[in-house]
Amino acid sequence: MNHRMIRYITGSLIQMEAAMLLVPALTALLYGERYSLLVFLGTALFCVAAGHLVKGKKPEDVTIFSSEGYVSVAVCWIVLSICGAIPLYFSGYFPNPVDALFEIVSGFTTTGATILGDVECLPRSVLMWRSFSHWIGGMGVLVFMMALLPLAGASSMYLMRAESPGPSVGKLVPKVRSTAKILYGIYFFMTVGEFLCLLAAGCPAFDAVNLSFATAGTGGFGVLNSSAGEYNAWIQVILTVFMILFGVNFNVYFLIYSRNIKDALRCEEARIYLGIIGASVVLITVNTLSLFRGPLETLRHAAFQVASIITTTGFSTVDFEQWPELSRTILVILMFVGACAGSTGGGIKVSRVAIMAKTILKELAVMKHPRNVRKTRFEGKPVEHEVLRSINVFLIAYLGIFILSVLLISLDNLDGITNFTAVASTINNIGPGLSKVGPTQNFSIYSNLSKLVLTFDMLAGRLEIFPMLIMCTAGLKGKRWS
């Protein structure tokens, strides 16, 4: 394994985080938050020095294979989170380092879970850092770095594959760096578009910036204790639309950008994703009709919550913990389904769910007609055996981590619904769960051990399980990684 290259990538990312910290530092300067300004600038200087020490000289061998890609991504996200937690801890608003780490991991992984009961008491610079971490983590911190810095040529595709969500990731154009630039270009213009729409709907500028960052990364950190509940109906509609848009595979937007509209409209995953949203909205609207003042208001809240949960954003306009059991069950199911592969959303992903469903139907057909030869097809192409195998392994690993996490946090003696949905919301990068971790609650009720378990779940969920597992097993003797 090319350890020097892993160190070089990690050091480069730490130094890049120093530049990221200038955003909240500038916010502190604009709003006269002197102490916060010193904290963020001090952390930025620390990141510059630490990155220089870790980085060292650029290694002669810059080749990255699959093992280096997975380990680099896992190590980078952990180090990024530790450095990002420093200003939160020294801000004085987070009781201990574990809480600060939980909060910033929730930000970078676009989970949106918090240990805070009152976010409105936070300085604006801290609010900005939380939301900006969503935006950086949404598309991927290493994808962002590749868009800015040349790393390892074509072999850096392993970094993008290890970090990007979904069963498979390919290059949009021949050069990986160009692919990263295209992705972040689309991401940036969609974020700006949402910001302008929010301003036009009457949203305050500071709130609009934070909401745009949080929606783009499908994260869900808000600047109000009510999340999105206090904003007017037009702002909620805009958030709903953009949450759904950011949950679509960005390859679709690239096809539109390339004027290949027909192929974009033929995207099977996007059609299934929109179909699931439509069916869920109809069912919840009918089920909750008596809770609101009319069908339009009911439809607005139902659409908002469905979009928020399936895209794993985690915003809320109402306390859906008070909804009927059918509606809450639909939302829990959507937690697991998640958004499209290649989007900023979390969850298992629509493509995996669709391929699994088609595989089951194929197996049933073979059982009825053993001589019938059928192949599972998705997006008009046969699904290769390697893809099916990786999906099966992913689900087994996902289930194992899920069960172990529920067992570990059960040591805190909280009820089963709380523990189950806490793990579901963190490993699927959603934010709110049900019961004591519902939309009006927070995760401060858990012990430090449980918070660390849930922090691992957030990282594992955002990085699609394998990078964290490979990092944990990379040092085992007798194993050869290639």
Count CB atoms within 10 A of the CB of residue 31: 14
**Helices 34-55 and 66-90, packing angle to 10 deg:** 150
Q: Are 439 and 331 in contact (CB under 8 A)?
A: no
Helix or strand or coil: residue 382? strand
Task: Mark 56-93 as b/e (b = at least 16 C-beta within 10 Å).
Answer: eeeeeebebeebbbbbbbbbbbbbbbebbbbbbbbbeb
Mean pLDDT on 307-322: 94
Mean pLDDT of 448-455: 97
Backbone angles phi, psi at 253, to 5 degrees: -70, -35
pLDDT category of residue 479 using cuts at 50, 70 and 90: very low
Average pLDDT over residues 62-72: 76
Q: CB under 8 Å to 443, separation ≥6 — which residues?
A: 102, 113, 114, 115, 422, 437, 451, 454
| H, E, C per residue of 49-102 | HHHHHHHCCCCCCCCCCHHHHHHHHHHHHHHHHHHHHHHHHHCCCCCCHHHHHH
Whether 286 shows a pLDDT value over 80: the answer reads yes
Q: What's the DSSP call for residue 378?
A: E
Structure tokens at 79: 């180090």
- Is the pLDDT score of 311 beyond 50? yes
More confident call, 172 vs 239:
239
Termini Cα distance of the chain: 8
**Chain-centroid distance, C-alpha 364:** 34
Mean pLDDT of 200-208: 97
Please state which of the ranges 23-32, 248-257, 372-381 shows the lowest mean pLDDT.
372-381
Does the pLDDT of residue 108 top 60, yes or no?
yes
Is the pLDDT at 68 greater than 80? The verdict is: no
What pLDDT does 100 receive?
97
482 pLDDT higher than 50: no
Q: What is the pLDDT of residue 144?
A: 65
Where residue 175 falls among pLDDT bands split at 50, 70, 90?
A: low
Please tell me the number of Cα atoms within 13 Å of 15 on its side-chain side: 17
DSSP letter at 313?
-
The model's confidence at residue 382, banded by pLDDT at 50, 70 and 90, is confident
Candidate from 13-22, 106-115, 340-349, 405-414 with smallest mean pLDDT: 340-349
Can you give the pLDDT at residue 159?
64
* pLDDT, mean of residues 108-113: 94
Please report the pLDDT score of residue 422 as a whole number: 96
Average pLDDT, the chain: 89
- Judge whether 426 and 461 are in contact, CB under 8 Å: yes
pTM (two decimals): 0.92
389-421 pLDDT, tens digit each: 888 999 999 999 999 999 999 999 999 999 999
**Cα 381 to chain centroid, rounded:** 28
pLDDT value, residue 179: 72
Confidence band for 182, pLDDT divided at 50, 70 and 90: confident
Identify the three-state secondary structure at position 377.
Answer: strand
Instruction: Reply yes or no on whether the pLDDT at 480 is more than 50.
Output: no
* For range 6-11, the mean pLDDT: 89
β-pairing verdict for 377-378 and 381-382: antiparallel
Q: Of 426, 448, 427, which is closest to residue 437 (Cα–Cα)? A: 426
Q: Per-residue pLDDT tens for 10-55?
A: 999 999 999 999 999 999 999 999 999 999 999 999 999 999 999 8
pLDDT band of 372, cuts 50, 70, 90? confident
**What is the chain's Cα-based Rg?**
22
pLDDT at 54: 92
Residue 317, number of CB atoms within 10 A of its CB: 22
Q: Rounded to whole angstroms, how far apart are CA atoms 84 and 14?
A: 10
Helix (H) or strand (E) holding 184: helix 176-200
Residue 170 pLDDT greater than 50, yes or no: no
Instruction: Decide if pLDDT at 428 tops 90.
Output: yes
pLDDT score recorded for residue 369: 84
